[in-house]
Structure 1
Amino acid sequence: MARSQLAVQSSVEALAPELDLNAQLAKVVEVEEIFNNCFIPTDRASEYFRWLDESRILKQCGRVIGPRDVGKSRASRHYREEDRKKLSYVRAWSASSSKRLFSQILKDINHAAPTGKRVDLRPRLAGSLELFGIEQVIIDNAENLQREALLDLKQLFDECHVPVVLVGGQELDKILADFDLLTSFPTLYEFDRLEYDDFKKTLSTIEFDILALPEASNLSCSPIFEILAESTGARIGLLVKILTKAVLHSLKNGFGKVDPGILEKIASRYGRKYIPPENRNSNK
């Protein structure tokens, strides 16, 4: 995973060790903006891209299953951005119908008539995908699709042979099985959390290519590595959120790096359920 692969909008310059409040805030805003707009390459994502290439070339429908905050959505968007003219990527809304979904896809491929009745939209989309040179359709949050939408996607593939990839959590497989549609999206990519070595390399990429703080934080070494591994479960989405906050509080407290004590305090509270004071010592 070469550092040069990081898709960064602009470089981040290291600040002087003495940071005033405005400089601290500017640094945090810049780091947060880069986290939001860049793609952090991982071995997991590279493997996923190869799977998408194979599905696209072989014209096979499939599904991508994994827990929340592991980077499925960001990797899928990046894959589309790298080859924008050949792919369509949309995110399904809650209880999404065929009409709503197909209208989204038509808008995404810049069709001049993206709205209409359900009975008209599917044949319009089927006729447009090949005409527009679309080789693959990726639908994120696919567990939100209604049964009719999933059935229509199967029919869409039967008509135009453009493979459809569904992205979602474990519940997506249960939904497809309940509707007897699992074999309609047969190939599976398990988008899991980062492996140990991949997690360490990702932390190094973040430290040197994104944070670029005045002092070394040693994110991939003890004790910070253990804090981040335990608190994030090697999920890159949680990692980005916790580190952004840790940078802010570390700089505000006069540190030129991510302070382990501050990081541990933030990580111990992030994403945890509230426990009333009277219940906090109940298990002691």
Structure 2
Amino acid sequence: MTNSQLVTHVPVEVLPSALDITDFLAKTAEIEELFRTAFIPTHRASQYFRWLDELRLVKQCGRVIGPRDIGKSRSSSCYREEDYKRVSCIKAWSNSSSKRLFSQILKDINHAASKGKRQDLRPRLVGCIEPFGVELIIIDNAENLQKEAFLDLKQLHEESGVPIALVGSSELDDSLELYDLISTFPSLFEFDKLEEDDFKMTLRTIELDILALPEESNLESDLFANLASSTGARMGSLIKILTKAVLHSLKSGHRKVDPEILRKITDRYGQKCLSRKEG
């Protein structure tokens, strides 16, 4: 087995030849934990990290646009973890106000006073950006922000000079255009699905460093076409499907991801129910 390419790696114990229910449940739980905690590097993520580095260098704001389950959130969190003292990364919840947003950022950078009135929080954050050494703020799910939050972020950047990266779906661009704020976040990174070579490399990393099953499943060759079409080369969908496929394969006595079991899962996974009651 090659050396792990994972940013966070937990030693994986290969399953013994004879499997019982305790074995495959423990193995599945182990795989789920690795998928949750480990970051799988991709060319797309590396491009994203370089783009964030550029924002910090030129002190400009930007936006990251891409569909759901593509890996934007995991990549943003990983970038923050690599430089946690100088990067703040928070997730905006539904209909998020300025007060809630700035309170989250203050808490994330370990400010002693993270709560208060809206009119107090922004000046407090502006005043601590330089002393705290904050060089970049990443806001995930930014399409959830209220109009006042977008406007206050514009003012935060103007007053402190800190670059802000908004991460979200195409709805984010729609909101920025509606509020005439595209020019405030002019730099764009399109976080699209993995290209073929990148997807194959990702499958190989998953095969060796996360699944670590007794027999190779040949994800990047034998099962590639199925996984590529069923997931749309989206990391989030891939993780969910493979976790389910491993569980059912081991439960059925296989020592790898079984192609037929995978096909049955992907045929209906994430699809609407087409059956209708008669009468």
Question: Shorter-normalised TM-score: what interval?
Answer: over 0.9
Letter in 1 for 2:180: D
Give the equivalent residue in structure 2 for 1:58.
58
Equivalence for 1:151 = 151
State the alpha-carbon separation in 2 of the partners of residues 61 and 3 from structure 1: 37
Secondary structure of 2:63's counterpart equals strand
Superposed CA deviations along residues 139-184 of structure 1, whole A, max 9, x for unmatched, are 0000000000000000000000000000000010010000000000
Number of equivalenced pairs: 277
User: What is the Cα deviation at residue 18 of structure 1?
Assistant: 1.7
C-alpha distance in 2 between matches for 1:117 and 1:29: 43
The amino acid across from 1:186 in the alignment is: P
Please name the residue that 2:236 is paired with. 237
What is the rounded CA distance, in whole Å, between the counterparts of 1:98 and 1:201 in structure 2?
Answer: 41
1:88-237 matched pairs, under 5 angstroms: 88-222=88-222, 224-237=223-236
Please state how far the C-alpha of 1:240 moved relative to its aligned partner: 0.4
Deviation at 1:8, TM superposition (A): 3.4
Match of 1:139, SS state, is strand
TM superposition shift of 1:29: 0.5
**How far apart in 2 are the matches of 1:263 and 1:255?**
12
Does structure 2 retain, via aligned residues, the 8 Å contact 1:213–1:257?
yes
Tell me the SS of whatever aligns to 1:63.
strand
Give the corresponding residue for 2:49. Answer: 49
Give the whole-Å Cα distance in 1 for the aligned partners of 2:277 and 2:73.
40
Structure 2 stretches of 5 or more lacking a match? none
Query: Shift in Å at residue 277 of structure 1?
Result: 4.2
1:256 maps to which residue? 255
Distance in 2, Cα, partners of 1:241 & 1:75: 17
Report the AA paired with residue 225 of structure 2.
E
Number of the residue aligned with 2:15 = 15
The CA RMSD over aligned residues, in Å, is 1.2
- Where does structure 1 differ by over 4 angstroms across 4 or more consecutive aligned residues? none
Higher deviation after alignment, 121-130 or 14-23: 14-23
For residues 194 and 221 of structure 1, the distance between their equivalents in structure 2, rounded to whole angstroms, comes to 16
Q: Which amino acid is the alignment partner of residue 212 of structure 1?
A: A
Letter in 1 for 2:74: R
Tell me, yes or no, if the aligned pair for 2:5 and 2:205 is still in contact at 8 Å: no
Q: Is the 8 A contact 1:250 1:262 kept in 2?
A: yes
Structure 2 length normalisation: TM-score? Answer: 0.97
In the TM superposition, residue 7 of structure 1 has moved relative to its aligned partner by 2.4
Q: Specify every segment of 5 or more residues in structure 1 that has no aligned partner in the other structure, as ranges.
A: 280-284
Residue 60 (structure 1) shift: 0.8
User: Could you say which residue in structure 2 is the equivalent of 1:282?
Assistant: none
Q: Using structure 1 for the length normalisation, give the TM-score.
A: 0.95
CA distance in 1, matches of 2:253, 2:5: 32
Provide the C-alpha distance between the structure 2 equivalents of 1:9 and 1:232, rounded to a whole number of angstroms.
24
- How far apart, CA to CA, are the structure 2 residues paired with 1:218 and 1:277? 38
| Contact kept in structure 2, 1:66 and 1:191, CA below 8 Å | yes
